[in-house]
Structures are given as C-alpha cells and as structure tokens.
Chains A and B, each alone.
Chain A
Amino acid sequence: MTYSLRRVYAIFQKDLKDVLKNMFITTSLPVPLVFALIASRDPNPPVEAHFMFINLVLVMITAFLQSAIIAEEKEKNTLRGLMLSPATTLEILNGKSLLTFVFTIVTIMVGAAISGYEPANLWLVAVAFLFSIFFYLALGTLIGLYTKSMMEASVLLMPILLVFGFGTMHRAFIEEYAFLSFTEYFPNIQLLELAENVQTGAGIADVWPALTIILAWSIVMFLLVIIVFKRREIDE
C-alpha cells in the first residue's frame, strides 16, 4: 500500500470540520489564551509568565486534541470503517497529527502576540518548540490509542496537565525537596530554561543539552507509540 497525501489531507479536512463544530473542544481551546492575557498585563513579564500559557497549549491542545480525535473515532465506531478503507493507519494518524499541529502553531502564535512574547533568537526557540510539539503529539497519540472514549482521554489527561501543564510552577518545590530534582529534566522545564537562557543571550552552543533532552523525550515517546501500536489492535 502506497502512502497517499490525498487521503491524509481528506482525513485532515474531515477532522477540521468536525473539530470546529465540537463544542467540547472549541470551548477548551481559548483557555490557554486567558493565561496569555494575564501575562500581557505585566508591562515587562518574566519569560516564565509566557511559558505558563505555552505549556498549557502544549498539553490542552497538542496532547488533548490529538488524543480526543483518535478516541472519538473509537467511541463512535467510525475507526473500523477508516481502518478497512484504503487509508493506512499511518495515514490516519498523520492526518490527525497534521490537524493538531496546525492548531498548536496557530494558538501559540496568537498567544505570543497577545502576551507580547518575542524570543531573542527566534529560530532556536522555534526548533525547541518543534521538538516539544513532537513530544506532546506522540503523548496524545499514545493516550488516544489506549483510551476508548473522549471522556476517558480527558480523565487521563488530568495528571499530565498537572505535571506538564502547570509544571513550571513546581520549580519552587524542587528547590525545597531535593528528591524532586529529577523533574528538572522534564521537557517542559527544559523548554522553559532554554527559553530563559536564550532571552539572556545564549546561543546554540549553550542550549544544546536542553535541546537534546527534549528531543530524547520525543524519540522515547515515539518509540512507545510504535510499540503500543504494534501490540494493540487499534480498532478494539
């Protein structure tokens, strides 16, 4: 079976129409933007304030949307039809990832415009964002593959939201409790530290460890997706 962009695009368009009419999703999309508004009230906000909303976007949109649109196909018994169609599983997942990706980029750009976030080195930060988005996309796919309904997916997302979404706030805890120091290597904190360093003038030579850590997280997550995918029948 050859890979067909036409089918990926067909799935992307179908999901776009569907998501835009889904009240549950359309009402949760603007939530991170509220945090962008809060950040914009400070005339000179710290980088951490911007990342409050960016991390929320990554969890609430990238991971949640991806898992929700996969889980809903299962819930509504439409995934089997898709699987039996000429579209391969890779094409189905890519069509959905494309949609999530577009939504993530658009929300981050809108949010950055609201909060007034301007990275000192745009390209470096963009690459870090890209790696992070890959991580959360894979995380969302994993949740989507494991759960059977949208409700289940959003419940599973709660702990993830606490750890990764509001995670930058617990840096204060780390200073107090040494055993939590491993969380410094979490992709969200690495992304924040990278952005902070970039803002103070760091270049690629200084931030490559953070970039590598984020990339490693996404690669591990992708491998997990592949393992789960091979072992589980997607339509069950």
Chain B
Amino acid sequence: MTVLHIQNLEKQSEDAIIFPAFSLEVAEGQLVAIHSTTNVRSVLLHLLIGKTVISNGEIYIHNEKLSRRKAREHLPFGISFLDEGYYERLTVREHFTFYQRLYGSAHSIDEVLSRVQLESVEHKKGRHLTFSEKKRLKLARLLIEDPDLMVLEEPDQNVDVETKRVLLKIFREQQHKQKSILVLTGNMESAITLTDQVYRLDEKGLEAFEVEEPAQSSEEETQGSDREFDQSQPIQFNKIPTKVNEKIILFDPPEIDYIESHSGQSHLYIMSESFSCVFTLAELEQRLQPYGFFRCHRSYIVNLQKVREVVTWTRNSYSLILDDQKKSEIPLSKSKMAELKGMLGLN
C-alpha cells in the first residue's frame, strides 16, 4: 500500500528551476529520506502543507489527492518542522496532556514519555529543557498524533547521542507498525543512518542514492590495482589536488578528515571545509590506503587516524564520530564494520 505518492511534482521560481518533475512513492512501513539543500526542502515542505499552490504535479496521501484547501484544514499526515515551537511555561506533562486532548489520541502519556525518554524531566517547564530534550518533546507530539506518515525536517540536527538513539528506536518501531516516515535533511549521514532509502533532490531531479553496496567483487578489484598503482609511480607524490574556483590546492593526506562523494563528485573535508576533487572515490581509495584511510561506506572514505568513536545505533546501523571541530558523523555500512573490526584487530 502506498502511503505517499508524489507524481511529477515540479517547482520553478521565476527563471530558476528549483526541482524538475519527479515522482516518488513511499509504501507502508518504509523509511525514506530526501537529501537536499535548505531551499529545496522548504519549497517541498510548503507544497506539502499547502502554503504554496501545487502548480505542476500531484501529491496523493492514501490515494487521495492533496489539495491546498484540504492541507490547510487538516493535514492528513504528521509533520515536524525544524523551527517548531513549544510552550515555554508548560511542563512536559502538560504539553503531553494538551496534545492528547487536541488529537483525541488513545496513546497514554506515560507510554510516550518513556518512548522519548523524558520521564525524568516530565515536570520541567519547556524553557528549562535542553536543546535535545526540546527536540524530543517536539517528536513526542508526532507520537501522540500517531499518523500513518510522519514527515520530519532535520530530525537529528545538533542533537545529542541519546536523542539520536531514541530517534532511531522510534523509527524502527514505526516501521514495525507499518507506518511510514519521510525525512527531509541536508545531512547525508543522518539520511543514511536514519532511513533505508535515500534520495537526493536538486535542480537536476530526484536521484536514488544507493545505500547498500552492490557487490564485493569491485572491492577486490581495487585492492588488486592498488599494488599496480604503487609500482607504476616511481616518484612518490602523495599530495591530493583539489580545485577551488580556478586554483588548485594540494593537501597532505593526514590533513584530510574524510571524503564524501555526491552528485558524481568527490569532496574532501578538511577542517570542516569542503573541497571538490577531480579523482573518483575508487582512485582516492587506492592512493590513500597506505595512509590509513578506509572506505567505510560506498560514498565515504574516512581517515582512520581522525576517528574518535564507533557508534552502534542498532545491530546493523553504525556511525563513525570524528575528532574534528564539528565532531562530524560518517556512516559506516554493515559489511564494512566487519572489515574495520579486522583492521582494529578486534576479531
């Protein structure tokens, strides 16, 4: 059963294409993420809640067309915005009581309190909560409403590890109950960790982002060619060239925190800044392996020297936390976990 069906949705703003026509289906129990820029995300959200008119294309919820009028009256799905508010003077429990009455929900307050792990602060006022607790409070509103489809904008932006764990647990529980979730985010790591299916939406259209690596064979291939590469280069030149506008900047491998590939381009991250690089990820992997770099995901290479922590969210979802300023999180895919353990001498 399809819960959300977006058909040929398209948006242009004056002369610029924000996104060309795309179609997307979210089935029952499916966790989907759309990775996009803030601008694309807010346009999409406005279309979903009927703030702007859908001029081209259609959105169906449970096979019922979403009209602007209907969306404004009562949204047939749950939504949580990044900048959503809370009542500063009400306690957590009072929030819950209010939401329960407002939505006529059958969920007990204590059950939701424990699901979002706010029991210890249930008598604290909204304004005295920490950022992450507030974030969980906002999530609780959706749990009380309990819609078939939740749309979440940046659910784990700037949250602590506890909240991210809560979020992941709730996502899995919703999936078990055959409920669907659509995450809109600008953070690839969060998209990969939270959901099963990631899309990238930009002015070129909607593009599926493969989360699980296709085959192991390509891996061996690169391992083989690795040695060839070393031999074919008599003079050791180790720096990695990147391009910024017209300039070429060379980086020492140990400077690099991690490398991400998106839109067919690899990006080096150094001191929280991104530099695009002409080499493909496979080529970079070859070059950088001797320096302790590790292909931890189909679209990521990480400098193992910079890894501070390996977080296990669920049995098959992992992240690496780096030791850089931003404490960047990098996804680690399931099959690579075993490889990494081997490298660390853990098994």
Using CB atoms and an 8 Å cutoff, list the residues of chain A in contact with chain B: 1, 4, 6-7, 9-11, 13-14, 17-18, 21-22, 76-78, 80-88, 233
Contacts and interface: CB of A to CB of B under 8 A. Distances in A.
B102 interface: yes
A14 B90 contact: yes
Contacts of B101: 6-7, 9-10, 13
Given A78-B85, A80-B81, A84-B79, A6 B90 contact: no
Given A7-B102, A7-B104, A88-B74, 4 more contacts: A1-B73, A14-B98, A17-B94, A86-B104
B86 A10 contact: no
A11 B89 contact: no
23 contacts: A1-B74, A4-B104, A6-B101, A7-B101, A7-B102, A9-B101, A10-B102, A14-B87, A14-B98, A21-B90, A21-B125, A22-B89, A76-B87, A77-B81, A80-B84, A81-B84, A84-B49, A84-B75, A84-B79, A85-B74, A86-B102, A86-B104, A87-B102
Interface in B83-122: 83-90, 94, 97-98, 101-104
A85 B90 CA distance: 19
Interface string B47-59: 0010100000000
Contacts of A76: 85-88
B35 interface: no
Of the listed residues A9, A14, A78, the one surrounded by the most CB atoms of chain B closer than 10 A to its CB is A14
List 7 A-B pairs, minimum CB-CB distance, nearest first. Answer: A77-B85, A10-B101, A78-B85, A21-B89, A76-B85, A14-B98, A84-B75
Contacts of B49: 84
A7 B145 CA distance: 14
Interface of B: 49, 51, 72-75, 79, 81, 83-90, 94, 97-98, 101-104, 125, 141, 145
A17 B126 CA distance: 13
Contacts of A21: 89-90, 125
A4 B104 CA distance: 10
B70 to A, nearest CB: 10
A13 B97 CA distance: 10
Contacts of A1: 73-74
A27 B87 CA distance: 20
Contacts of B86: 76, 78
Contacts of B87: 14, 18, 76, 78
Contacts of B83: 77
B84 A18 contact: no
B74 A86 contact: yes
Contact of A85 (B81, B89, B94, B102): B102
A13 B87 CA distance: 13
Contact of A18 (B51, B79, B89, B145): B89
A18 B90 contact: yes
Nearest to A91: B102
B84 A10 contact: no
B74 A10 contact: no
A9 B100 CA distance: 12
A88 B83 CA distance: 22
A107 B34 CA distance: 53
Contacts of B125: 21
B73 A88 contact: yes
A204 B71 CA distance: 49
A6 B102 CA distance: 8
Contacts of A85: 74, 102-103, 145
A94 B101 CA distance: 16
Nearest to B73: A1
Contacts of A80: 81, 84
Nearest to B145: A85
B85 A14 contact: no
Nearest to B80: A81
Contacts of A13: 97-98, 101
Contacts of B51: 233
Nearest to A73: B85
Contacts of B94: 14, 17
A144 B98 CA distance: 22
A77 B73 contact: no
A9 to B, nearest CB: 7
B100 to A, nearest CB: 8
Given A14-B98, A77-B83, A80-B84, A6 B74 contact: no
A77 B84 CA distance: 6
A81 B74 CA distance: 11
Contacts of A86: 74, 102-104
A83 B49 CA distance: 10
**Centre residue among B89, B102, B141, B145 by max chain A CB count within 10 A:** B102
A130 to B, nearest CB: 28
